[in-house]
C-alpha cells in the first residue's frame, strides 16, 4: 500500500540526509536558508532531527497544504513506529545538558516540561560538549504535536537521570512532574481521555517511573502503586491499549516483587490483557502469569505459559529476560515431574547462566536427595538472586519420586529396605509410606506386598491395547487445531488497505462507461491473439 511505501521513503531519505549531512526533505527548507549550491550544512542535532521527523510523519509540518485541525487517524501507530526507529533511539545517549538545550529549541518556550527538566539537575557549565546547533533554527511546532514531543523529551530526560546519572530520586520526581504536565496539556485538547498519539509515550513514561520507584526506596514504591492503579483505570476507559498493557504489567511486577501473590492472582483474574498490545508487553504478561501460577502450585498451566512466552520473545534482544524466563521454566518443568532436555541448557548465550540449573537437574534425575541438597546449598546465592529458591525448596519430593521411578523401572521386585537405603529415606517403614504415596500419585506403577516387604512392579502391558494412543492423539490434534485457530485470528491486514483499495476501485469505475469497458475487452482479446 502506498502509505507504507511513503513512510519507507521518508526513512531512507532521513538516513541518507543524515549520512550525507544534507537536508533534502522539503520540511527542512523553511528552517535552513541554504540553497542547493551552498556547502552542505552540518547535520541537525539528533534530537531536533528526530522531532522534526515526527512532525513531518504526522503531516503537521508547514509544507502540508491542508492545515490540519486534528491528527491523522493512524497517529498512534505512526508514533509507535517512529519510536522504534534507530535515529530516535540514538537520542537516548544524549547527555543531559545537550538534552536540555535541544528541548529548549524544540518545545514552545512556556513549556512546563522544560522548566521541570532544568530544575531537576543543576547544570555545570562547560564540562560536556554541546552538539553543534548552529543550523537549527527555532520553530514553534504545531500545538497538536507539542504534548507528544514533551512526553518524549521528558522520557529521555528521566532515562538519562536514572541510568546515566544514577540519581533515582531526582528521576522519580521529574517523572512525576512530567506526567502531570503531559496529562494537563493532553486534557486541554481532549477531555480526560488519552489521545491515541500520546499512548505509547505515556506508557514509556510510566515504565521509567516504575523503574525509578524501584531504586528510589520504599516510600516511592508505595505511592507509585496507587498511582499505577488509578492510571490503569483511566487507560482502560479510554481504550489506550499501550498504556493499559504496560500499566498492568507494571502493577503485576510490583505485586510480585512484594510477594503479594494472592493479590496478583486476583488482579489477573479480574482484568483482561488488551489484545492490541505490543508483543513485548505480551511476553512480559505471560511471564508474570507463569510466575503466579507456579507459586500457586499450578505447574502445568505455568509451564504452558512460560513456553509460549519463550516462543514469542524477540530473538535478538532482551537476553536477560529470556534467561530469566528460561530459568523459571526449567524449575517448573522439574516440578511437574519431567526432566528438561539437554539442549535447553545450551541455548546460545545462556550456557553460563544456566550452569547451576543444569547441575540441579542432574541431581534430580539421579534421584539422590543428599546430592540434591548439597547442590542446592552450593548455589543457594544464585537461586536466591533469581527468586527461584522457594520453588527449589519444593523440589525435594520430586527428587525422591524420580529416584523411585528409576528403581521401579529397573527392578521387577525390590525390597523396601533396599529402596530406603538407595534413596537415603531412613527406615523401611517410611519408605513404605513414601512408595504408597508415589503409587497413588501415579508416579510408579506397582503393588506393595506388605508381608513380604517388597514392591512388585506391574507387568508392562501393551500400550496399544489401551486408550493411551487415542488420548495422546487427541491432545496433539487439539493443539494443532488451536494453533490453526490462533493463526487465523492473528492474520493482519494493513488497516487502511481495504478502504483505500475500495476507494480507488470506485473512483476509477465511475468514469468507465460501457463503451470504454467494451473497448478494453477488445484490446485484451487483441493482445492475447498477439501472444499466440
Partner 1 sequence: LSLPALPPLPVESGTAASERAAARNALEWACLFAARIQNVELFEPFFLQLKGLYMDHGAELGASENYPIILGINLLHQLVDNDLGQFHSELELIPEEVQQSPHVSFAVGVERDLMMGSYDKVIHASDNPPNAYCGLFATDLLNTVRDAIGDCAEVSYETLSVNEAVRMLKFQSRAELDVYVADSRPDWILEPTAEVLRFHPPASTGLTVPSTEIMAQTLAYATDLERIV
CA angle 386, 390, 394 (to 5 degrees): 130
The site for partner 1 (CB under 8 A) is made up of 259-262, 295-297, 390, 394, 396-397, 400, 425-427, 429-430, 433-440, 446-448, 450-451, 465, 467, 470, 474, 477-478, 481, 484-485
Instruction: Give the position of cell 501507530.
Output: 77
Hey, which bits of 203-348 come out as E strands?
none
Q: Are 241 and 257 in contact (CB under 8 A)?
A: no
Q: Are 260 and 238 in contact (CB under 8 A)?
A: no
d(CA 112, CA 116): 6
Q: Are 174 and 69 in contact (CB under 8 A)?
A: no
Q: Are 179 and 116 in contact (CB under 8 A)?
A: no
Strands 454-457 and 413-415: antiparallel
Q: Are 265 and 291 in contact (CB under 8 A)?
A: no
Closest CA to 297 of 326, 332, 324, 253: 332
What is the chain's percent helix, strand, coil content, to nearest 5?
A: 70, 0, 30
User: Residue 121 or residue 305: which is nearer to partner 1 going by CB?
Assistant: 305
User: What's the chain's Rg over C-alpha atoms?
Assistant: 31
Closest CA to 135 of 13, 59, 20, 21: 21
Chain centre distance of CA 57 = 25
Give the CB-side neighbour count of residue 14, counting CA atoms within 13 A: 22
Amino acid at each position: 500500500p502506498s502509505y507504507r511505501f511513503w513512510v519507507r521513503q521518508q526513512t531512507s531519505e532521513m538516513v541518507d540526509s543524515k549520512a550525507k549531512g544534507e537536508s533534502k526533505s522539503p520540511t527542512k527548507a523553511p528552517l535552513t536558508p541554504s540553497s542547493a549550491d551552498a556547502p552542505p550544512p552540518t547535520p541537525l542535532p539528533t534530537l531536533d532531527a528526530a522531532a522534526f521527523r515526527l512532525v513531518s510523519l504526522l503531516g503537521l509540518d508547514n509544507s502540508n497544504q491542508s492545515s490540519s485541525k486534528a491528527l491523522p487517524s493512524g497517529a498512534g501507530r505512526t508514533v509507535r513506529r517512529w519510536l522504534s526507529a534507530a535515529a530516535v533511539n540514538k537520542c537516548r545517549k544524549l547527555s543531559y545538558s545537550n538534552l536540555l538545550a535541544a528541548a529548549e529549541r524544540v518545545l514552545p518556550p512556556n513549556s512546563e516540561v522544560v522548566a521541570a527538566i532544568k530544575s531537576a539537575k543543576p547544570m555545570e557549565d562547560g564540562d560536556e560538549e554541546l552538539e553543534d546547533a548552529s543550523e537549527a533554527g527555532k520553530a514553534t511546532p504545531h500545538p497538536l504535536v507539542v504534548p507528544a514531543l514533551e512526553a518524549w523529551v521528558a522520557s529521555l530526560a528521566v532515562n538519562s537521570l536514572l541510568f546515566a546519572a544514577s540519581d533515582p530520586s531526582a528521576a522519580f520526581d521529574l517523572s512525576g512532574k512530567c506526567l502531570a504536565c503531559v496529562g494537563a496539556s493532553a486534557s486541554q485538547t481532549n477531555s480526560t481521555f488519552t489521545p491515541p498519539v500520546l499512548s505509547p509515550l505515556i506508557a514509556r513514561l510510566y515504565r521509567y517511573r516504575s523503574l525509578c520507584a524501584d531504586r528510589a526506596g520504599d516510600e516511592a514504591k508505595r505511592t507509585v502503586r496507587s498511582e499505577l492503579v488509578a492510571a490503569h483505570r483511566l487507560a482502560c476507559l479510554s481504550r489506550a491499549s499501550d498504556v493499559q498493557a504496560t500499566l498492568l504489567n507494571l502493577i503485576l511486577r510490583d505485586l510480585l516483587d512484594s510477594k503479594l501473590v494472592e493479590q496478583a492472582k486476583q488482579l489477573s483474574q479480574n482484568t483482561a490483557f488488551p489484545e492490541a498490545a505490543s508483543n513485548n508487553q505480551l511476553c512480559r504478561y505471560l511471564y508474570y502469569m507463569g510466575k503466579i501460577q507456579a507459586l500457586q502450585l499450578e505447574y502445568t498451566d505455568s509451564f504452558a505459559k512460560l513456553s509460549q512466552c519463550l516462543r514469542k520473545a524477540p530473538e535478538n534482544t532482551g537476553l536477560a529476560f529470556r534467561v530469566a524466563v528460561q530459568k523459571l521454566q526449567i524449575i517448573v518443568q522439574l516440578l511437574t515431574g519431567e526432566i528438561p532436555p539437554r539442549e535447553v541448557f545450551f541455548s546460545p548465550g545462556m550456557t553460563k547462566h544456566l550452569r547451576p540449573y543444569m547441575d540441579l537437574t542432574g541431581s534430580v534425575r539421579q534421584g539422590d536427595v543428599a546430592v540434591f541438597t548439597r547442590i542446592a546449598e552450593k548455589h543457594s546465592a544464585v537461586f536466591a538472586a533469581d527468586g527461584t529458591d522457594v520453588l527449589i525448596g519444593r523440589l525435594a519430593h520430586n527428587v525422591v519420586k524420580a529416584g523411585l521411578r528409576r528403581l521401579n523401572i529397573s527392578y521387577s521386585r525390590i525390597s523396601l529396605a533396599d529402596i530406603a537405603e538407595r534413596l537415603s529415606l531412613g527406615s523401611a517403614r517410611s519408605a513404605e509410606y513414601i512408595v504408597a504415596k508415589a503409587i497413588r500419585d501415579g508416579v510408579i506403577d506397582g503393588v506393595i506386598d506388605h508381608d513380604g516387604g517388597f514392591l512388585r512392579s506391574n507387568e508392562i502391558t501393551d500400550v496399544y491395547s489401551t486408550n493411551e494412543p487415542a488420548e495422546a492423539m487427541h491432545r496433539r490434534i487439539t493443539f494443532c487445531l488451536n494453533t490453526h485457530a490462533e493463526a487465523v485470528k492473528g492474520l493482519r491486514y494493513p488497516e487502511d488497505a481495504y478502504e483505500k483499495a475500495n476507494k480507488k476501485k470506485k473512483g476509477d469505475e465511475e468514469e468507465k462507461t460501457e463503451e470504454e469497458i467494451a473497448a478494453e475487452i477488445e484490446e485484451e482479446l487483441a493482445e492475447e491473439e498477439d501472444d499466440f
